[in-house]
Amino acid sequence: MPIQVLPTHLVNQIAAGEVIERPASVVKELVENALDAGARRIEVHAEQGGVAAIVVRDDGGGIPADELLLSLAPHATSKIASLEDLEHVASLGFRGEALASIASVSRLTLTSRHTAASHGTRLAASAGEREAATPAPHPPGTSVEVRDLFFNVPARRKFVRTTSTEFSHIERMLIRLALSRPQVGFLLTHNGRRAFAVEGAETRAGEEARLAALLGPEFVAASLYVEHRSTEVSVHGWVGLPTYSRAQPDEQHVMVNGRAVRDRLLASAIRAGFRDVLFHGRHPAYVLYIDLDPARVDVNAHPQKLEVRFRDGRTVHDAVRRTVESVLAETRPNADRAGPIPVSAIAAGSMSAGRESYRQHSVFPRHADVGATLDWREIAALASTHAPTVADAPAADLGSANAAHAGDRDASIPPLGYALGQVHGVYILTETADGLALVDMHAAHERVLYEQIKAELEAGGPPRQGLLVPQIIEMTPASVDMALEQRSALEAMGIVIDRLGESSIAVREVPVAFGTRDLGGLVRDALAELAEEGATLRVATGRERLLATLACHAAVRAHRRLSLPEMNSLLRQMEVTDRADQCNHGRPTWVRLSMQDLDRLFLRGR
């Protein structure tokens, strides 16, 4: 075949493949145009998964009648005029190819009325062939109707999935767009039925109501608001509690200057912020807004503009990581929050149809040695069979129950209340100002020790105690050499060792915080971990992993009987320990049930 220049409509059809992958891409492009036009309300109506029709209406600035024809032309845009503009582009679109692409693979009707015009104008195109513009009634703003998507591109059409799959892509896309612009109202319908509707929000409470409508009430109940403002980069939004982690990374929303993106750098920064509170293999949930000077981000780095490039990635990374880290440090028992797990997930979820959504959003990572599902029946059983213990408790500890029922909380009672006893040697049952709490004593103690030693390490090394009788550990000669190579790093962590012989070492000192429990096992595991990690003790993550092993060994074991003062002392330590709401693996350390929750479980007052 001789070389020839392809006809324009074919060029457009080929180009369309880049931006218009499926019906949801049409929704994305049209809604982004509406947002760029300053719309306050956007309606999206889809039929048959968007393949039969997608209609997007907005109340934005509209298109002047004499520019209507041009808006469908390829590489025609009102958003940038020069390369310079491209360097600090603030609009979502700028390539001028969306409408041309969509028009070339569908039957498109564009009706628009510019703010300054007295009536609207309509323009239709089929497979890219434009018809003449005609006057048409229309309120200020724009409507775009896209019918029979890919009718002229059978190859593409074959890749379109079922109606429900395509619609769920549309819905997810519109949720992302709605999250990216909290001030704009959105409505979505499918085959005439409403999928969701949210109003624009101007306040944090309003935004949280939107989040509940878009992501589910569980997300709001189980997340913390974060905010960090600086001249270089501002970060704000909602971070899901570590105990609300998910099996898939499907609830992660990041907006950069009002644009929803999937960015590796940001995802890794957030992950770093979740370091040592997340169960292995679980994914955090979050909705985060990052704002910075548009000149410092390159948005022209991806055909669908899903990825961005930061001029100063390090600054952005650190700001995001630190913001997430600092809010997660606050996850300790506190009187204002309902605890690491939304009680609605336990109480309401188990009693009604909500159960399904509780399952879906389950906050309990599956793990063999944890009661993975805390069923309402078990809780009810606990509360009733232990009633005598409650009655036996010192009167001072019980004074609160009636007051709490009356609605006002006694401020002198600490957030985790006072211990009533142990449940099967695993949980501590406590009475709180407004109900009860159950604490996983091993998990909680593990976190308390971990944070304590970490703080001591940062302050120059944990205080050490000499052992009256050194612990002798037998190991292979290679392991002995390895252990001795790490000697100074171990010493910095409070563990002093010596070579005893070819295949044995002596442990002479250990951190005070670890008491004298199970020292042989503790050091052996620590050294085994070191052998596995090689020389990584020199980096923070290596030290933290080792610390976690040590803390796990030193923490109280299940089935150890604790006295009430010992239990209360653990509760008081939890209340002042950063991240105490979850153990080092991200499992919750405690749950709380208020009198209200209990009444609901027992159907009182119904």
Residues 114-153, one symbol each (x = binds ligand ADP by CB under 6 A, - = not), give: ----------------------------x-----------
State the Cα–Cα distance between residues 322 and 272, nearest whole angstrom.
9
CB 255 within 8 A of CB 179: yes
What own/partner pairs with CB < 8 Å and gap ≥ 24 does 394-403 have?
397/431, 398/431, 400/431, 400/432, 400/433, 400/434, 401/431, 401/595, 403/433
Site size toward ligand ADP, by CB under 6 A: 23
Which DSSP category does 228 fall into? E
Would you count residue 33 as binding Mg ion (CB under 5 A)? yes
Edge-first strand listing for the sheet containing 427-432? 418-423, 427-432, 435-440, 590-594
Is 273 among the residues that bind ligand ADP (CB under 6 A)?
no
Crossing angle, helix 23-36 and helix 163-180, to 10 degrees? 20
Name which of 76 and 201 has its Cβ closer to ligand ADP: 76
C-alpha distances out from residue 204 to 47, 286, 421, Å: 34, 16, 41
**Selected binder of ligand ADP within 60, 240, 273, 365 (CB under 6 A):** 60
Residue nearest to Mg ion (CB): 93
Closest CA to 216 of 111, 410, 13, 359: 359
Residue 142 binds what, of ligand ADP, Mg ion, none (CB under 5 to 8 Å, by partner type)?
A: ligand ADP
Among 30, 80, 98, 239, contact with Mg ion (rule: CB under 5 A): 98
Q: How many helices (H) and strands (E) does the chain have?
A: 24, 23
Least gap, CB of 32 to Mg ion (angstroms): 5
**By CB under 5 A, how many residues form the interface with Mg ion?**
3
Residues linked to residue 11 through DSSP beta bridges, in sequence order: none
Q: What is the DSSP letter of 582?
A: B
Q: Which of 436, 416, 437, 439 is nearest to 427 (CA)?
A: 439
Confirm or reject binding of residue 65 to Mg ion (CB under 5 A).
no
Q: Which is nearer to Mg ion, 54 or 278 (CB)?
A: 54
Q: Which is nearer to ligand ADP, 34 or 510 (CB)?
A: 34
Least distance to ligand ADP, CB of residue 307, Å: 17
Cβ–Cβ under 8 Å, residues 413 and 447: no
Q: Which residue is nearest to ligand ADP (CB)?
A: 93
- How many other C-beta atoms are found inside a 10 Å radius of the C-beta of residue 578? 18
Q: Is 232 exposed, middle or buried (0-12, 13-18, 19+ CB in 10 A)?
A: exposed
Q: What is the DSSP string of 371-418?
A: -----HHHHHHHHHHTHHHHHHS-HHHHTHHHHHHHT---TTS-TT-E
- Alpha-carbon distance of 230 to 218, in angstroms, equals 30
- Residues between 62 and 121 that touch ligand ADP (CB under 6 A): 62-63, 71, 76-79, 93-100
Of 96 and 206, nearer to ligand ADP (C-beta) is: 96
Helices (H), 146-203: 154-157, 163-180
Q: Which does 63 bind (CB under 5 to 8 A by kind): ligand ADP, Mg ion, none?
A: ligand ADP
Minimum Å distance from CB 30 to Mg ion? 8
- Applying CB under 6 A, among 23, 49, 50, 61 the residue interacting with ligand ADP is 61
Q: Residue 58, interface with ligand ADP (CB under 6 A)?
A: yes
Least distance to ligand ADP, CB of residue 372, Å? 49
Q: Measured from the CB atom, is 145 or 251 closer to ligand ADP?
A: 145
37 touching ligand ADP, by CB under 6 A: yes
- E strand or H helix that includes residue 25: helix 23-36
- List of long-range contacts for 222-227, beta carbons under 8 Å, 24+ apart: 222/285, 222/341, 222/342, 222/345, 222/363, 223/285, 223/286, 223/287, 224/327, 224/328, 224/330, 224/331, 225/327, 226/288, 226/323, 226/324, 226/326, 226/327, 227/323
Q: Is 59 in the site for ligand ADP (CB under 6 A)?
A: no
CB of 291 to ligand ADP, least distance (A): 21
369 half-sphere exposure, CB direction, 13 A CA radius = 8
The option from ligand ADP, Mg ion, none interacting with 537 (CB < 5 to 8 A, set by class) reads: none
Q: Whose Cβ is closer to ligand ADP: residue 97's or residue 325's?
A: 97
The listed partner (Mg ion, ligand ADP, none) that binds 62, CB under 5 to 8 Å by sort, is: ligand ADP
Closer of 101 and 577 to ligand ADP (Cβ): 101
- Distances in whole angstroms, Cα of residue 72 to Cα of each of 17, 75, 310, 587: 16, 9, 32, 54
Identity of the residue, 49 or 61, whose beta carbon is nearer to ligand ADP in the bound complex: 61
Residue of 24, 34, 347, 548 that binds ligand ADP (CB under 6 A): 34
Please report how close the Cβ of residue 73 comes to ligand ADP at its closest, in angstroms.
8
What is the C-alpha separation between 391 and 514, in angstroms, rounded? 35
Return the number of the residue (62 or 242) whose C-beta is nearest ligand ADP: 62
Find the binding residues for Mg ion in span 323-342 (CB under 5 A): none
Which lies closer to ligand ADP via its Cβ, residue 65 or residue 595? 65
Report the C-alpha gap between 57 and 3 in whole angstroms: 43
| Shortest spacing between CB 407 and ligand ADP, in angstroms | 51
Provide the token pair at 152.
Answer: 């002229």
Min dist. Cβ of residue 33 to Mg ion (A): 4
CB of 606 to Mg ion, least distance (A): 54
Q: Write down the least CB distance from residue 46 to ligand ADP, Å.
A: 17
Between 36 and 581, name the residue whose CB sits nearer to ligand ADP.
Answer: 36
x/- binding map, residues 446-465, to ligand ADP, per CB under 6 A? Answer: --------------------
Residue 93, interface with Mg ion (CB under 5 A)?
A: yes
Residue nearer to Mg ion on the CB measure, 57 or 543? 57
Look up residue 273 and give its two tokens: 């912020």
Percent of residues in the chain assigned helix, strand, coil, to nearest 5: 40, 20, 35
11-30 positions binding ligand ADP, by CB under 6 A: 29
Name which of 57 and 442 has its Cβ closer to ligand ADP. Answer: 57
Which residues of the shown chain bind Mg ion in the complex (CB under 5 A)? 33, 93, 98
Which residues of the shown chain bind ligand ADP in the complex (CB under 6 A)? 29, 33-34, 37, 58, 60-63, 71, 76-79, 93-100, 142
